[in-house]
A and B are shown apart, each in its own frame.
Chain A
Amino acid sequence: MLEVDDLHAYYGKSHILQGVSFTVGDGEIVSLLGRNGAGRSTTVKTIMGTVPPVGSIRFNGDRIDGLRPHEIARKGLGYVPEDRAIFPTLTVRENLLLGVKSTTRKGRWSMDDMFALFPLLRERADAPGGVLSGGEQQMLTICRSLMGDPALLMVDEPTEGLAPKMVALVRELLEKIAARGIAILIIEQKLTIALAICHRLYVMGHGRIVFEGNALELRADDSIRREWLEV
């Protein structure tokens, strides 16, 4: 579904991504792990086209590198940024409506589905997005991207800074999404939920992929964990 091959990215003169290659298959949950500054956020931003890519990115066989972000999104990529980017002055309902890409083509998910997935959104439907708590905003931003009917959802640090109860809700939400056949690329540092829900994983360090495997293999590999994950 997603094939990233020898991807490079730059912020000004600094060479951040130095040849990143990985894949995500249909309906697969894949984790991208690594310490702060490893380049994981830059990787998804580059895939979304907000950072200019150098290298090849294919989605369902088509090259998407060089397309503009909205064109990439319309191909079926959903992106949930680490800062969540809730529209603070707009209501929860308006935030969700903005997730819909086209009013003519009906997606798999409706507003009512979102309310069913996370009933609090119904209660707060007319409140401004900015007043929600961090955890509620995280649920809202994931639901907002779902409204655009993505085939692959890329979620950057969804559990960062959340209380254990909210973490459980986010995990449950991601599992329900995956159960509907949507592929997920989840970025994490602290391994709060990634190892428990992913099928495969990659570890990044200094702008490169330094490990590829699954949760069992990572648990067995002390040296990788010590060198690239533990703080």
Chain B
Amino acid sequence: MLELATVSLLNGIVYGLLLFMLTSGLTLIFSMMGVLNFAHASVFMVGAYLSYQFARWVGFWPALVIAPLACGLIGAAIERYGLRHVHKSGHVAEILFTFGLAYLIEELVTMIWGRNAVANSVPAVIDFPLFSLFGSSFPAYKGLMMAISIAMFVFLYVALKRTRIGLVIQAALTHPQMVGALGHDVPGIFVLVFAVGSALAGLAGVIGGFMLLTQPTLANAIGPIVFVVVVIGGLGSLGGALIASMLIGILQTFAVAIDYSLLDALRAAGIAVTRASPLYDFYSIKVATAAPIVPYVLLVLMLIVRPRGLMGKRDV
């Protein structure tokens, strides 16, 4: 039991950190520009594919750098040549634009790499047991994922809190017009934030590609979870996104590992339930089977109890 808990916790933290890498960019972009970028998860997917491709051409370590940089450039181009022009037509147009982009990216990826999953397996250099715990080993690539995520957040935090450009970004979160009137190039800052946010999504794609299947539906698989995290954390709040990412990462990982159902719990409590009881099928669903809906249950509860999310400043 303790073994299961520790292993699940470690896996949950890895998954949570991955989610945060994805949501931090999205939430920064949202609070500055008021636009929820539905193509964000697609950039994540592109990161996974690019890392697969570059790893085959030039090896894993260069790919780990090239794929996020390429995603950053893609993000900058999306803002500079797409969203900036659509912005004049209002929020609905912006959202439709990012939706369209998500479909476009999915089709492009299918054209290039095919409809089936590519063999994006963990490279040999990082595929060895790092340490063992209660007899089960913790693989090195998960250690690397954690190290990269944590290093990324330290870098982001310092950049945001300790540099002049970080100060400009923080101010633009609440008063973009005033920041412009003080002589700072706000459109330029938008491109930068979009680029960094997309590069982070790309980096998450590189390391997430090992955990999830690298196939054209990857964006659709992760996208909804990302939005759930952003809403639960509070739109536009980095701290909230961190807490919500870890919460969902850990909860979902634990749920997957629990091989019991409500039925077992009822029986353990001495309540007799038979096939004839009403809702028997419902009781007998194993928690692990229901794990994928955990985030959405949280989302619905959060929207009812506290629509602004854990740390958000405005309602959804």
Query: Which residues of chain A have a CB within 8 Å of any CB of chain B?
Result: 48, 50, 68-70, 73-74, 79, 81, 85, 87-90, 94, 97-99, 101-103, 144-145, 148
Contact = CB atoms under 8 A, between A and B. Distances in A.
17 contacts: A50-B177, A69-B181, A69-B186, A70-B181, A70-B182, A74-B183, A81-B181, A85-B175, A87-B175, A87-B178, A88-B174, A98-B179, A98-B182, A101-B184, A102-B183, A103-B164, A148-B183
Contacts, number: 59
Given A87-B174, A89-B174, A69 B180 contact: yes
B182 A144 contact: yes
Contacts of A69: 177, 180-181, 186
Given A68-B187, A89-B174, A90-B170, A101 B181 contact: no
Nearest to A95: B171
A148 B182 contact: yes
A135 B45 CA distance: 51
Contacts of B180: 50, 68-70, 73
B170 to A, nearest CB: 6
Interface residues of B, number: 18
Main secondary structure of the interface of B (DSSP, over half): helix
B188 to A, nearest CB: 8
Interface string B156-188: 000000001001101100110111111111110
Given A94-B167, A98-B167, A98-B168, A70 B183 contact: yes
Interface of B: 164, 167-168, 170-171, 174-175, 177-187
Contacts of A79: 181
A101 B167 CA distance: 13
Given A68-B187, A70-B184, A70-B185, A85 B178 contact: yes
A231 B243 CA distance: 53
A145 B181 CA distance: 9
A219 B36 CA distance: 54
Given A50-B177, A69-B177, A103-B164, A87 B183 contact: no
A205 to B, nearest CB: 26
Counting chain A CB atoms within 10 Å of each CB, the highest count among B167, B168, B178, B181 belongs to B181
A203 to B, nearest CB: 25
Contacts of B187: 68
A109 B245 CA distance: 45
Given A69-B180, A88-B174, A89-B174, 6 more contacts: A70-B181, A81-B181, A87-B171, A89-B170, A101-B183, A101-B184
A70 B186 contact: yes
B167 A90 contact: yes
Nearest to A150: B183
A73 B182 contact: yes
Counting chain A CB atoms within 10 Å of each CB, the highest count among B164, B168, B184, B186 belongs to B184
A87 B170 contact: yes
A48 to B, nearest CB: 5
